[in-house]
A and B are shown apart, each in its own frame.
Chain A
Amino acid sequence: MEKLIDKKRLSDWIAALADWEVFAPALEDGVWAWKPAGEDVRLEHSNVKQPPKGFAFPQREIYFSFEQIKGEAPKLTPKVPETKKRAVFGVRPCDGRAVPRMDALFDSEGFHDDYYWARRDKIAYVGLACNQPVNATCFCKSVGGSPVSTDGMDVLLTDLGDHYFAKALTKAGEALLSVAPGEKPSAGDQKKLKDTHAKAEAAPQRAVNDAAGAPAALKANFDSPLWETLAQGCIGCGICTFLCPTCHCFDINDEVTGTAPMKGNRVRTWDNCQFPDFTMHTSGHNPRESLGSRLRQRVCHKFQYFHENFGMLQCTGCGRCVSECPVGIDIANVVNKVTEHVA
């Protein structure tokens, strides 16, 4: 299904999605954030500071609550989330490409993560193609993506000036688009779409020079001294990882909320390979003590380990870790330097 939607009627479409919770980018404190869609949704964002991964994989998830009453068996109450159907508007193609990567991970090795899927099964992503790179740090094309990629999307919108060209890509996308106001695109609209996409794909970007060769080249350079050199300025914060659309490591803790009786929650929270306690062993030994070893872990996970496990690069080239790093560590530059290094 394809429709040409007048931009002025975007809010009518959102209003028609009565049985959906709709989210869209909004500026909050100078930062693009995902917010419940109000009446004035305009999709004029560059990219949202945080990727949409939190819709299916929130930073904090309660697994179950526990309570120990004296003389009784411990009482455990599962907390598998129950959400309404959610439509997320304005997802950029790099973040769309993160979706199949997260899906693969949370349904792998015979394990289906009920918490992830309870949310994920009810989400539809309404993408927005990038007519030009939204940020100087974008590099989606060089990692197999495209500024008009439909991967992970249920609907893809393309900005054609006064209108969006909308294309449904899945059953959920058809359901969303069926209630949208608009008409069937004409042959002229189709041509305009084709031209817009061609122009978008031709726009120059920064690049990882040899993404296809990266898994093998990184493997060969595991012991390279370059890792420590490139991590020299690293401060060990968690920005790159927490803002990454595909970083998914998590920690599990029991949070005690009361002691008489003992009760609390078992929670899953995002974890971060850049933090000192990420690999801390119970003995006190930390196998990844240096910042170089942590940078290597993150880069190799994106460009080697995930590829070995799932047959695809994990990095989608959104450029957040590049633009947001407080000290200029640049994953495209790191991959290029290490893979082009001849020992």
Chain B
Amino acid sequence: MGTAVVWRTGGRAVGTALFIAVLSAIPPFRLSAQGLSPRDSALHALNRLAYGPRPGDVDSLGRTGVMRWIERQLDFERVPDDRLADRERDFKLLNYDREELARRYGDAQRERREMQREMAESGDTTRPRGAGPMREFRELGGELQQLAVVRAVLSERQLREVMVDFWSNHFNVFVGKGADRFLTPSYIEETIRPHALGRFEDLLIATAKSPAMLFYLDNAQSIAPGAVPPVQRRRPGQEARAPRGINENYARELLELHTLGVDGGYTQQDVIAVARIFTGWSIDRPQQGAGFAFHEWAHDRGEKQVFGVRFQGSGMEEGIRLLKLLANQHATMHHVSRKLCARFVSDEPPDGCVDAAVEAWHRTSGDIRAVLRAIFTSPDFWAPQALRAKVKTPLEFVVSAVRATGAAPDSTLRLAQVVARLGEPLYLQPAPTGYPEAQALWVNSGALLARMNAAVALAADRLPGASVDLDDVVPAATDHAALVDAVNARLLNGTMSAHTRSVILEQLADVNDPAQARMLAVGLALGGPEFQRQ
């Protein structure tokens, strides 16, 4: 690892009055060996491991020490998070369990079918828009998005929220697809969150067994060719189900996206073998709670080979064996580590941090905390060229702006809708790839204008879903130079360029009202180029 840098402040060592005087004037950090100022490193950590600093966070991190703060974030269970816990009580989706939702979904489906039949019979197609039995489940999706945004804003366990976002995206499901409307909440709560900083292998197995993924990538319907379901109770007149076969969808994405990566060296024959191994991994009917079910009758008991390894047709156990094998392939370690580095270091991460992550993965059999620690202690993470090298995603932009201004998300679903309008509707990426870690998708003229609009709206306390009181952050001032300096210090943490400063001052020249001037300065600062970066 070899970072010889002492990140913690060493104020104790020097007790002179002079030093204390200096401390009171500048934040108490020590320059790092890499040439990063301690303030820069605190801001860097808060930008990458968290959703940006709140007012005062950079200073308080300096007091804690950056590396100690990082360790605390990794050891998140010991970080109290009462404020968030209070807010979470507003979310009724956290009170539902999956089985109850499943039954309600089954009922809603039945109701909808009936309504459609009635409408077809009567010829009446004037159903009011937005109403109908599925409405509850559309709202559930909105609530789920909002919960993610609220957690990102409020949680003290910031790194955990960042990792939940990372894995929810890596193991993408689409909340708009059929049963995933009600399966996604439990997917996030029970599959992703408990494993976000656990072991990769456990996370992989949890996603493979999750009803949301089994439905999203169609594995729930994949059965051995010719397999016949046991005779089910049929209503009179109901026909027997048509025979079905294997479905390769999950198998392919498991190899390409979840584990080995597209260059992971597998063939179409491997994809088919993997699909056969997962035949029978399915879901109970909604009326029975839509839980994971292994259907013995649907499983292909023939022998399969996946890159030379034999699987005997031993039922569900061979799927678990395969997932463990995949989790510990070098290609998987490299693919996932590189993606983590693209999230935390830079869009095109240097080999050094990727190698360090892979080494930690090998050593700890995929302990995600150890892999992250390797990244956060690698010189590449702290290299000056990594600073502000990444453009914020829409989620990161909105949440960081809300945090920077000390704003509070309200109890509506609107803040998540702002994130969606900027181009990142959460859980609504239909493609199994999830959203990319690189900036190219997020930076275009339309999206940038949308960010400027959001910034101006937030500064005017008109951003839907968040209320802000700028008095708490930047005092209104008649002296424009002092105002802009305060905006720079409090909101941009000193990153404002001389150019930006002069443009904002020029804009303020004919503004006399201090509140108007502050609104304009804050809007331009948050919508300007510095705040798009992290």
Answer whether A and B are interacting partners: no
Point out residues on A near B: beta carbons under 8 Å: none
Point out residues on B near A: beta carbons under 8 Å: none
